[in-house]
Amino acid sequence: MISALSDGRALPASVLAHESGVAASTASGHLTRLVDAGVFAVEQSGRHRYYRLAGPDVAAAVEALAVIAPQPPVSSLRESTRAAALRRARTCYDHLAGQFGVSLLEALVGSGALVRTDGGAGTARRPESRLAAAVRQHPFRLGTGAGQVFARLDVDLAELLSRPASARPLLRFCVDWSEQRYHLAGALGAALLTRAEGDGWVTRRSEGRAVDVTDRGRSMLDVLSAQDVA
C-alpha cells in the first residue's frame, strides 16, 4: 500500500486493498496503523476516506528500502518491462526520478540553471551520500542562468523564491536508487513535475510510479542539454 501511494496519489481504502491484494477488512486494519504511525495522512471526501503518504520524507524512505529490499525474481516479459520502465522514468512522490530525472538535473547543471558547489562533477554522488536518501548538505545552488532557463521551461522561479521562509525548501536532492546519481527534489522538483505533466513531457501510467517520456519530453531535454554553459 505504501508503494501504491509513492507517486503522490491519494487513494481510497478499496483501491489500496485491490492494489495490495488483500481483503478490505485486512486493509482497514493496516491503514489504521499506518495513519497512527504517521506514515499515511487521511482526509474525508463525502463518504470516502482518501489516504496519501504523510510527506516526502516517507517517499524517500521507500526509495531507500528499494536498495536493500530483496527484489522479486523477474519471471515474465511483462515484469521485466515494468522494471525497465521504472528505471527509465518514474515519480518519487512529487518529483521525477530514474534516468529521466537524473538527465534533467544534468541538463540543468549544464545550462547554468544550477551550479555544483561541493567540487563534484555533474550529478555524480559523493561517497558519503547515502543511496536513495535525501541529501543533508545540498551539493547545488541556483546559477546565473536560472532565471532564463526556468522561464523557458515555464516555471515561475520568482514565485517560488518569494515564498515565506517557513515554506518547503526550494532545492532538495536525493540519490536516485536505480541510477545512483543525484536527482532534483524540493519545491523546484515538484514544480518541474507539474510542468512536465502539464506540457506533455511525460504521461502517467494507470498503475504504479513509472511514467512514459514523450517525444516532446525528449525534445525538451535535448534542447536544454544543448544550452551548456561555455
* Amino acid occupying residue 185: A
CB 139 within 8 A of CB 118: yes
Domain holding 11, by residue range, is 3-54
Are 178 and 102 found together in one domain? yes
Tens of pLDDT, residues 116-131: 998 888 898 887 776 6
* 81: Cβ contacts below 8 Å, ≥ 6 apart: none
Residue 141 confidence (pLDDT) above 80: yes
pLDDT digits (tens, 9 = 90+) for 59-98: 777 766 766 665 555 555 554 466 678 888 998 878 999 9
**Domain check: are 28 and 67 in the same one?**
no
Supply the CATH number for residue 44's domain.
1.10.10.10
- Pair 90, 19 in one domain: no
Structural domains counted in the chain: 2
pLDDT of residue 78: 55
- DSSP for 181-206? BEEEEHHHHHHHHHHHHHTTSEEE-S
Question: Residue 211: inside a domain, yes or no?
Answer: yes
Q: Do 31 and 63 fall into the same domain?
A: no
Q: Are residues 214 and 169 in the same domain?
A: yes
Kindly state whether residues 159 and 191 are assigned to the same domain.
Answer: yes
**Shared-domain flag, residues 156 and 72:** yes
For the four alpha carbons of 123, 128, 130 and 136, in that order, the dihedral sign comes to negative
pLDDT computed for residue 230 by the predictor: 42
